[in-house]
Structure 1
Amino acid sequence: MKKTVVLVVLFILPIVAYLFFASGINNFGKLPVLTENISDITEVDDTYTLQDKITILGFLGSDLENKKGIAFNLNQKIYKRFYEFNDFQFVMVVPNGSESKVEELKSELGNLADVVKWNFAYGEKEQIQRFFEGLKTDLTLDDNLATPYVFIIDKDKNLRGRTNDIDEGTKYGFKATSVADLNNKMEDDVKIILAEYRLALKKNNAERKNQ
């Protein structure tokens, strides 16, 4: 018995501790809400809504030719892994007049994946700027109304992120020009929020059966 206890202390507990810390604290709870009840994208373009959707929100701006790298990174690292989940969508905000550039980009993305949930919302400069400011982040849009960062919005239109990120402290968005940020952080956080809703759905279904 003594030998068993010693073996557990020396070998098993360190492994368990390592797995706990290596997985990251975000994997053991809900993804924090950073901004509650942001404006709906309908205030920019009423073709789409954020309500009751899990949304990856981005601002590609007017210089789409130089934002293709961002789109391809997101497509390969995030979109292709999760787009088949119910109520999951991408919404990329671009200025009015970008329609032909968007169609070209969607055509190129379509060679790599089904782009059915790649949505593009069009708006005027003032609308886009006001909508972005409503996220209440520490980030800004450039002169082309673009940012390399993308954001996770939940079904209640809350901005989700990290409050204790090892690199940034409060992390509002994920840098789509960084494959490491998408692979090591954003993918995990999207998994967490999807798991939240799956668990909530199972709980609701169980409660209905017990009624």
Structure 2
Amino acid sequence: MKNKLVLILLFVLPIAIYLIFSTATHNSLFLPTISKANNDIPNNWKGLNHENISMKDKITVLGFVGNNIIENRGNFFNLNQKIYNKYKGFKDFQMIMVAPIGSEAKAKQIIDELAPITGEMTGWKFVFASPEEIQSFYDSYNLVGKLDANFGTPAVIIVDKELNHRGRKGKNKKGVDEYKESYNTISAADLHNEMTDDIKIILREYRLALKKNKNERKDAFRDNIKENIERNK
């Protein structure tokens, strides 16, 4: 009975994984790179608890929320429900919202409002800087979109562990050229359909890379043992 169960799992699991990732609306099983080796969060920028925050070695949803944090609370709710709640279980996933110095109390209010419906909030982070610093940091990504007069935008981007900006570039499944550098937090549909899909793909990339590295280490360990045995014969 146990053998049959194992065989069933071995047959069903790959199919299930394929079905999950084949729902991607674009053509690639790997999320395209928009720009490489971008700037990390500067060391002098501080979070709500005056801590340093970094994107290095994390899959990050990066946003620039400006001064109108409370007025745009619906955007945070959309992002929380459609994205954060789905991926908060991944220790390498986080969301960083950049806001002007002086808006700390507003950011804390948003965290306090989301916590009762979300629970684990350690991956939800705000970081604060001067308007000039925010503009300079935003411009370094060479995005098509622009910040508004309050140094904010409803758009968020995906940054991978190597600080590469990821998105959609090339032909989709219908053969139509597309370019998507950001995701609109005003639109629950944009987050639910496209951003969810793209984060799913990038998480898959890292899982496959981790599995490959583990297999390579196992092979190297096995070869090393074999070498030692043959040397001692």
Q: Distance in 2 between matches of 1:44 and 1:131?
A: 13
TM-score, normalised by the number of residues in structure 2: 0.77
Note if contact 1:161-1:171 (Cα within 8 Å) is conserved in structure 2: yes
Equivalent of residue 145 in structure 2, options 133, 136, 139: 139
Please give the root-mean-square deviation of Cα atoms over the aligned residues, in Å: 1.9
Q: Distance in 1 between matches of 2:43 and 2:147?
A: 18
What's the counterpart of residue 158 of structure 2? 152
Q: Return the offset for 1:169.
A: 2.4
State which drifts further: 40-49 or 109-118: 40-49
After superposition, give the CA deviation of every residue in 1:45-87 in whole Å (9 maximum; x if it has no partner).
Answer: 1511111110000011111111101100000000000011021
3-state SS in 2 of match to 1:77: helix
After superposition, give the CA deviation of every residue in 1:94-121 in whole Å (9 maximum; x if it has no partner).
Answer: 0000111111111001111121111101
Inter-CA distance 165–172: structure 2 relative to 1 (3 Å threshold): farther
TM-score, normalised by the number of residues in structure 1: 0.85
Counterpart check, 1:62 vs 2:67: yes
Counterpart check, 1:180 vs 2:181: no
* Runs ≥4 residues deviating over 4 A: 20-23, 165-168
Equivalent of residue 205 in structure 1, options 202, 214, 218: 214
What's the counterpart of residue 5 of structure 1? none
What's the counterpart of residue 14 of structure 1? none
Note if contact 1:165-1:171 (Cα within 8 Å) is conserved in structure 2: no
Note if contact 1:43-1:127 (Cα within 8 Å) is conserved in structure 2: no
3-state SS in 2 of match to 1:34: strand
3-state SS in 2 of match to 1:64: coil
Q: Which structure is larger by alpha-carbon Rg, 1 or 2?
A: 2
What's the counterpart of residue 229 of structure 2? none
Q: Distance in 2 between matches of 1:33 and 1:60?
A: 24
After superposition, give the CA deviation of every residue in 1:172-197 in whole Å (9 maximum; x if it has no partner).
Answer: 00001001111110000000000000
Counterpart check, 1:24 vs 2:30: no
3-state SS in 2 of match to 1:207: helix
- Residue segments in structure 1 that go unaligned for 5+ positions in a row: 1-19
Q: Distance in 2 between matches of 1:91 and 1:201?
A: 24
Q: Return the offset for 1:164.
A: 3.5
Q: Distance in 1 between matches of 2:23 and 2:93?
A: 28
What's the counterpart of residue 84 of structure 2? 79
Q: Aligned AA for 2:142?
A: K
What's the counterpart of residue 42 of structure 1? 42
Note if contact 1:34-1:172 (Cα within 8 Å) is conserved in structure 2: yes
What's the counterpart of residue 108 of structure 1? 113
Q: Distance in 2 between matches of 1:178 and 1:44?
A: 33
Aligned length: 191
What's the counterpart of residue 33 of structure 1? 33
Q: Distance in 2 between matches of 1:51 and 1:39?
A: 10
Inter-CA distance 195–105: structure 2 relative to 1 (3 Å threshold): same
- Residue segments in structure 2 that go unaligned for 5+ positions in a row: 1-20, 47-51, 221-233
Q: Identity of counterpart residues, as a percentage?
A: 42
